[in-house]
Amino acid sequence: MHNETLRPEATPDGAAGFVPKVTTAHAEGTLVDKYGRRITYVRLSITDRCDFRCTYCMAEEMTFLPRHEVMSLEECLQVASVFVGLGVSKLRITGGEPLVRKDALWLLERLGALPGLEQLVMTTNGSQLERYAPALRAAGVRRLNISLDTLRADRFKAITRIGDLAKVLRGIQAAKAAGFQRTKLNAVMMRGINDDEFVDLVRFAVDHGLDISFIEEMPLGEIHGRSGTFISSEETRERLAAHFTLLPSTESSGGPARYWRIPGSESRVGFISPHSHNFCDSCNRVRVTAKGELYPCLGQNDALHLLPVLRAHPGENAPLRQAIIDSMGIKPYGHDFTQQMDAPQVVRFMSMTGG
């Protein structure tokens, strides 16, 4: 057991909260699961809410969590700092849409200052970037993944049900201007919905000096009609290869994507292929939902609930640390998504678990 120093501080979610200080003196020091995989990467969802309702991610009518069931920003910070104390060096802030969380910047500024956290990164739909990009960069967010499935305004509206493409494109420009390292676009591949735009999306990425990853749609949440739209990474890569020279790259972003380079450009084209190229062997990550559920695997339903631990021991790191260490015992070897896409193979939506 190690000692944490707690210091009271005014916080956005409460009049006075405790901000945990990370200590580097942790005897075991690392998180290793029962298969010997070392966990160095956490994806933390800070809200289940979103200003879009993407058809593959959410139902049209979503019921969001009541506020008291969502971790406060102080609790998010405490969870992140305990993970960092256990050797986690990369943290991705996600959601829902992380930038619709009130006072998200308060949290990001503190995360950006956590000793031992080497990479603070974020996944966003881009809708709020025009406003927040410079402040995010100043807070220490190093890289952004911005979701962009189409470059056509009407189609964008249809996929997101609410979103405004022009606003997102302005957000992408703001991210470029703010000087993030390697901004990456994420596009979910959907047959008959955006597959005629894959070439245009890659051209857009190349023209703007961005990376782009194509993601195989995953069967998360009760959404019907997925099976007709599934496209494998392999098919997309073959289709792109008719238009671009794609050179295999050994580079990795530390995630499951496999990358190709386009000669003469800075851009990399990646494929995230949970179906066709299982990446569980080298899994180095866990996810924490806005509700404080620690999911050791995106594709399984087992979770360890951190919120009761946090609230039973306010401001104390040791019980939380132990719960996180215990979660290693339930990290499964891997997911077993099949291509039977109509039935949800995991009952929660991606917006719950965080992408």
Site string for ligand SF4, 58-77 (x = CB under 6 A): x-------------------
User: Encoding tokens for residue 161?
Assistant: 């049900």
User: Encoding tokens for residue 217?
Assistant: 């749609």
Give the position of tokens 């949290």: 107
Site string for ligand SAM, 122-141 (x = CB under 6 A): -xxx----------------
85 binds, among ligand SAM, ligand SF4, none (CB under 5 to 8 A by kind): none
Strand pairing category for 268-272 and 211-216: parallel
| Number of chain positions touching ligand SF4 (CB under 6 A) | 13
53 binds, among ligand SF4, ligand SAM, none (CB under 5 to 8 A by kind): ligand SF4
Residue nearest to ligand SAM (CB): 355
Q: Give the amino acid at 157.
A: K
| Other residues' Cβ atoms within 10 Å of the Cβ of residue 124 | 26
| Other residues' Cβ atoms within 10 Å of the Cβ of residue 258 | 20
The beta strand positions in 28-111, using DSSP E, are 41-45, 90-94
CB of 188 to ligand SAM, least distance (A): 5
Site string for ligand SAM, 332-351 (x = CB under 6 A): ------------------xx
Q: Give the amino acid at 332.
A: P
In 3-state terms, what secondary structure has residue 165? helix
The yes or no reply on residue 194 touching ligand SAM (CB under 6 A) is no
List the one residue out of 237, 240, 277, 235 whose CA is nearest residue 257.
Answer: 277
The stretch near ligand SF4 (CB under 6 A) out of 51-59, 189-197, 264-272, 310-318 is 51-59
User: Encoding tokens for residue 276?
Assistant: 């066709």
Q: Which of 20, 96, 255, 299 binds ligand SF4 (CB under 6 A)?
A: 96
User: How far apart, in whole angstroms, are the C-alpha atoms of residue 199 and residue 236?
Assistant: 9
Q: Which residues bind ligand SAM (CB under 6 A)?
A: 50, 56-57, 94-95, 97, 123-125, 147, 186, 188, 215, 217-218, 220, 350-351, 355
Q: Which residues bind ligand SF4 (CB under 6 A)?
A: 50, 52-54, 57-58, 95-97, 125, 147, 350-351
